[in-house]
Amino acid sequence: MGPQSDLSVVLDGLPRDLPACQFSPIEDNKDISKNDQKQDKKIIDFLTEKAQKDFPQSAYQLGQLLFFEKDACKMLLEIVELPVGVDCPIGQRDLVHTAMYNLARAYYQGFGVPQSDKEAIR
């Protein structure tokens, strides 16, 4: 036998036949998408509630989830204003610096805010 094609090397060891019943119909995929949207809403609601109760890490995570929306940049602006002194909670300094980076990135790329090199550098 001659050399095997790249595809046959990849396919070696896989079953030759896959019963059609193993594949989900398209309608099931729509249900999965709807379920994902419900789960996303639950996560966003949970993080929003925690952020409103003064948990900066939750506000940051919410900002990451909503990065392409205007509200995310508002949250990042609030986080950037948090103090970063010695008497602050552990991790708050890192949180503020990460928010500063993401806010600069948002301004530089124009995600959720008008594109502005000047604001990105600030």
pLDDT digits (tens, 9 = 90+) for 75-120: 888 889 988 888 888 888 998 998 899 888 888 888 778 888 898 8
For the chain, state the CA radius of gyration.
Answer: 23
Residues 6+ apart with CB under 8 A from 73: 63, 103, 106, 111, 112, 113
d(CA 67, CA 107): 11
d(CA 61, CA 63): 5
| pTM higher than the cut 0.85 | no
Residue-range domain boundaries for the chain: 27-121
Task: Select from 86, 83, 34, 17 the least CA-distant residue to 56.
Answer: 83
DSSP state of 81: T
pLDDT digits (tens, 9 = 90+) for 45-62: 888 898 888 788 888 888
